[in-house]
Structure 1
Amino acid sequence: ECCPVNNSSKEFIFVLHGLNDSRTNKHIYFAFGLVVYIVTLFVNLTLIITIILEKTLHEPMYLFICNLFLNGICGASAFYPKILADLFLDSNIISYTGCLIQMYIIYCYLFSEFTSLTVMAYDRYVAICKPLEYHNVMTQQKVVNLMIFIWIFSLLQVSVATVLTVQTPLCGNDIDKLYCFNWDVVKLSCTDVTVNNVYSYIIMFFQFFQAVFIIISYTRIIRAALKSKTERVKFMQTCLPHLITLINFTISVLFDVLCARYGKGQELQTLRNILGIEFLVVPPLLNPIIYGLKMNQIRQIVVVIQVLQRNLEMNFFRQEHM
């Protein structure tokens, strides 16, 4: 029988085994990861600044999209710096405190992402199914309240889960993943984890309720869109990107959670590693591209900014050579 390790100790570390099969190509992975991380930060920050500075984009839909981009930066920044450091330094360890911080931020990203997509589904439902009431329903105060709810609701869920994990004595430190994930840590426990299990099922209930809400909202949206050509155009421009984001995010997270909780053996480990980083890599990179390409207003504003930037550079170049 194993003995509990002192996970409160400053010297306690976790060993991440997700990179074990990737050491031979670590320089390629490092270069690719660094480029993707820089591009992710650039495109998200560009669109966030565009939405903030352009007053015509201060509408509920664009503010929720801006929040989605900000959350994407948080999720990507919880993953990339650590994995890039591991690749560069040929390391695969993380301190107990570092593991908790990474786990906390990643879970905040996950819950905030899904809650944001739920709120965006509600926004699109009101816009398409009740267009005449939209501005009366989605007031500035309500938008602010919804944004606060997204973050507070997510932070509360994660905080309780983290407290339960901290109180769990551990009998090991090996994690078969590229980063720290709550259930992978809980599985190392020496004691009964019924409380952790019950709480995780409570969280799943909340996520299930949100998923049902999204399904009902989009069922009504699609019905309304089929009745009018104008609403069909609005659906394609504003709802289709949301659906793409939602489906991609939900499938990858669901698969990873099910494998973490119920998967046995190593036969699915490679696939789990891929999908385990997919929801941290793809949505933060894909969301700004999808919304930037599909949303005419955002695309036009970005094009104008690029033209102005080129003109400023040309004028600066001419002045230097005069």
Structure 2
Amino acid sequence: MTNATQISYFTLSAYFDTGLFKYLYFMIALSLYILIVFANVLLIATICMNRSLHEPMYLFLCSLFVNGLYGSTGLFPSLLVQILSDIHTVSAPFCFLQIFCVYSYGSIEFLNLAIMSYDRYLAICCPLQYNTCMPINKVVILIAVIWLSPILVNFFTLPLIVPLQRCGNIINKVYCDNHSIVKLACYDTTVNNIYGLFVSALSVFGPLILIVYTYMKIFKVCFSGSKQTRQKAVSTCTPHLASLLNFSFGACFEILQSRFNMNNVPNMLRIFLSLYFLTCPPLFNPVMYGLNMSKIRVACKNLISNLRY
């Protein structure tokens, strides 16, 4: 074991020499980032500029799209630089900042989806009381909770990992990861592990309980309600369930990869799956909602037509 020291930089060892293929990977990553930015900015602008879309469901969607931009921007600029670089190192301050962005993005995404399930529950199960139960001031408070609570919870992770004395600086990933940093510590990290489990439980089980509860209520109403009620539930819940499952798949693999040894998984597949929850949801969500929700689709077409002329 080497002497404990304060590390000034980290090496991202999951990158490997791809020769001339690195320019192809760079173009693929750049194209993905441009698509993510374009799709999310388009729908954010559509919702913000169209007063008919200033309803709770669309405002929560706008929050989801903003978070998609936030999470992908925490990854892609660094990823693009690293793909072209021959020396895959990042400074310690940047690494800690990326950890904060990635983890707060994941927490915000899941909490946002949980609040959206609550909103759909009110719309389907209590349609006559919906406007009373979900006034605009409550929407603003819920959006503030969606953003502020994960940011505050993840902010307190940094004072636990920054001062750690480390016996190495190699992270076997393509971006900085909290658990990988903690594993480099030379001394006891019980406090970090306990707080990490607490944050994970708070970020996952709280929203999960709300999602399960609201969908149990929605399914109960669907089975006992009219055909019109079932059609409304299917049309409004299908995009939400698709987004939830898409994000959950990527997040679950990322948690498993961080906590367990995945060396038996091929390196390229491991890299792809570790990037999934930071790339696919930000790209998938605007496409899914833009295509499935007629009001957004029409408003997007009108916005693009106005910009052209």
**How does the TM-score come out when normalised to structure 2?**
0.95
What is the CA-CA distance between 1:268 and the residue it aligns to?
Answer: 5.6
Identify the residue that residue 211 of structure 2 maps to in structure 1. Answer: 214
Does residue 81 of structure 2 align to residue 76 of structure 1? no
- Paired with 2:185 and 2:19, the residues of 1 have a C-alpha distance of 29
Measured in 1, the distance between the counterparts of 2:268 and 2:195 equals 28
**Structure 1 residue 230, shift from structure 2 partner:** 2.2
What letter is aligned with 1:278?
Y
Q: How much does 1:264 deviate?
A: 5.2
Please say which of residues 28-37 and 17-26 is displaced more in the overlay. 17-26
User: Does the CA-based 8 Å contact 2:13-2:170 persist in structure 1?
Assistant: yes
Instruction: Please say which structure displays the higher CA radius of gyration.
Output: 1
The question of 1:6 aligning with 2:3 is answered: no
The equivalent of 1:26 in structure 2 is 22
Question: What is the alpha-carbon distance in structure 2 between the residues aligned to residue 201 and residue 104 of structure 1?
Answer: 16
Structure 1 Cα separation of the partners of residues 262 and 209 of structure 2 = 29
User: How many corresponding residue pairs?
Assistant: 307
SS in structure 2 opposite 1:94?
A: strand
* TM-aligned CA deviation for residue 163 of structure 1: 1.5
Distance, in Å, in 2 between the alignment partners of 1:34 and 1:193 is 37
Q: How much does 1:157 deviate?
A: 1.4
1:132: Cα distance to partner? 1.0
Contact 1:73 1:284 in 2 (8 A): yes
Classify the secondary structure of the residue corresponding to 1:142.
helix
After TM superposition, list the pairs within 5 Å mapping 1:79-98 onto structure 2. Answer: 79-98=75-94
RMSD of aligned alpha carbons = 1.5
The CA distance in 1 between the partners of 2:63 and 2:6, in whole Å, is 39
Following superposition, the deviation at residue 282 of structure 1 comes to 0.3
The whole-number CA distance in structure 2 between the counterparts of 1:160 and 1:197 is: 13
Please tell me whether the aligned partners of residues 167 and 186 of structure 2 are also in contact (alpha carbons under 8 angstroms): yes
Specify the SS of the correspondent of 1:172.
Answer: coil
Aligned to 1:320: none
Higher-RCO chain (CA-CA 8 Å, sequence separation at least 6) = 2
Deviation (angstroms), 1:45 = 0.4
Rounded Cα–Cα distance in structure 1 between residues aligned with 2:206 and 2:45: 33
Tell me the secondary structure at the aligned position of residue 156 of structure 2. Answer: helix
Select which of 183, 198, 202 maps to 1:202: 198
User: Quick one: structure 1 residues 264 and 244, their matched pair in 2 at CA, closer, same or farther if it must change by over 3 Å?
Assistant: closer
| Equivalent residues of 1:3, 1:171 under 8 A apart | yes
Deviates more, 1:146-155 or 1:252-261: 252-261
Verify: 1:169 aligned to 2:165, yes or no: yes
Unpaired segments ≥5 residues, structure 1: 313-322
Counterpart for residue 283 of structure 2 = 285
CA distance in 1 between partners of 2:181 and 2:73 (Å): 21
Structure 1 partner of 2:186: 190
Alignment of 1:151-166 (within 5 A): 151-166=147-162
Query: Residue 244 of structure 2 aligns with which residue?
Result: 246
* Structure 2 residue 147 is matched with structure 1 residue 119: no
CA deviations over 1:79-137 (Å, ceiling 9, x no partner): 11011111223331100011011111111111100110111111111111111111111
Q: Which moved more, 1:301-310 or 1:185-194?
A: 301-310
- Residue deviations 1:1-59, cap 9 Å, x none? 3211223xxxx111112221545511101011111111110110010011001000000
On the 8 A contact 1:60/1:143 being kept in 2, the answer is: yes
In the alignment, residue 199 of structure 2 is paired with which amino acid? I
Question: Structure 1 counterpart of 2:249, which letter?
Answer: I
C-alpha displacement of 1:171: 1.0
Decide whether the 8 Å contact of 2:6 with 2:164 is kept in 1. Answer: no
Q: Does 1:139 align with 2:100?
A: no
SS at match of 2:157: helix
Contact 1:85 1:91 in 2 (8 A): no
Deviation at 1:212, TM superposition (A): 2.1
* Residue identity (%): 37
